[in-house]
């Protein structure tokens, strides 16, 4: 049995509610959908969803073939969520600012290229400007899942119609607490509301 774009779409409403976001992550790990991503993203946008993609790292590395494949997805992607090394690998640029800016130009224009930079915080590049928010000083316990935690905080802020600076701050706050606690903890709603005051 082969998983298809239609299998995914059948699990989602035919019409999105205002602000609904679909995040595709670990895209290189779901090989059965690999060729379907352009069609899947296009259909999601037609249904009114905001589309976000976190590619992860391709097992075969960043070859020209991989970059060309992803180039087919980008016009249907609103938010591209990468870490610094992934952004440099996908863009083949010499520095992060140039690479993220180039990637942002290839997206739908409704979001931007968000780059997670570990202790240095996170930034977002859009077609006309960029924005950076600093990291938080924490005692790291375990970094596994830091990027996913950031994504959760960032996209939650977008769902609640927060501005871009706040979305980056929420992403950083969620990831920072996640990687510095054992057992792992995440900010509650009140902590998220207050976190902007700490930046």
What is the domain count for the chain?
A: 2
Mean residue pLDDT across the chain = 94
* Domain harbouring 80, CATH code: 3.40.1190.20
Per-residue confidence at 196, pLDDT binned at 50, 70, 90? low
Q: Are residues 47 and 9 in the same domain?
A: yes
Residue 1 reports pLDDT greater than 70:
no
* Structural contact between residues 19 and 50, judged by C-beta atoms closer than 8 angstroms: yes
104 plus 187 within the same structural domain:
no
- pLDDT value of residue 100: 98
- Mean pLDDT confidence for 108-123: 98
Residues 186 and 107 occupy one common structural domain: no
Burial group, residue 67, by CB count within 10 angstroms (0-12, 13-18, 19+): middle
**128 in a structural domain:** no
Q: Is residue 43 part of a domain?
A: yes
30 and 94 in a single domain? The answer is yes
Q: Mind listing the pLDDT tens digit for each residue in 89-104?
A: 999 999 999 999 999 9
pLDDT digits (tens, 9 = 90+) for 146-168: 999 999 999 999 999 999 999 99
**Nearest-5° Cα angle at 159, 176 to 14:** 130
pLDDT tens for each residue of 48-73: 999 999 999 999 999 999 999 999 99
Q: Based on the domain organization, do 18 and 74 belong to the same domain? A: yes
Distance CA 174, CA 16 (A): 26
Distance of CA 34 to the CA centre of its chain: 18
Residue 163's domain comprises: 134-199
Quote the CA–CA distance of 141 and 80 in Å, as a whole number: 27
Enumerate residues 6+ apart whose C-beta is below 8 A from 15. 47, 48
The residues, ordered by sequence, that sit 6+ positions from 35 with a Cβ below 8 Å of its Cβ are none
Same domain, 99 and 158: no
Same domain membership, residue 61 and residue 16: yes
**Residue 129: inside a domain, yes or no?**
no
């Amino acid at each position: 049995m082969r998983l298809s774009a239609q299998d995914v779409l059948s699990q989602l409403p035919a019409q999105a509610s205002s602000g609904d976001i679909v995040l595709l992550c670990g895209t290189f790990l779901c090989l059965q959908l690999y060729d379907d991503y352009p069609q899947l993203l296009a259909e999601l946008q037609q249904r009114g969803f905001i589309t976000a993609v976190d590619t992860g790292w391709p097992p075969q590395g960043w070859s020209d073939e991989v970059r060309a494949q992803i180039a087919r997805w980008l016009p249907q992607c609103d938010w591209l969520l990468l870490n610094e090394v992934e952004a440099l690998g996908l863009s083949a640029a010499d520095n992060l600012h140039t690479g993220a800016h180039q990637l942002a130009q290839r997206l739908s224009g409704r979001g931007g290229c968000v780059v997670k930079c570990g202790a240095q915080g996170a930034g977002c590049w859009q077609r006309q400007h960029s924005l950076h928010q600093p990291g938080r000083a924490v005692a790291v316990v375990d970094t596994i899942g830091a990027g996913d935690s950031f994504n959760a905080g960032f996209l939650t802020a977008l769902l609640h119609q927060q501005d871009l600076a706040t979305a980056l701050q929420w992403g950083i706050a969620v990831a920072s607490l996640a990687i510095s606690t054992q057992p792992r903890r995440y900010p509650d709603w009140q902590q998220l509301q207050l976190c902007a005051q700490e930046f």
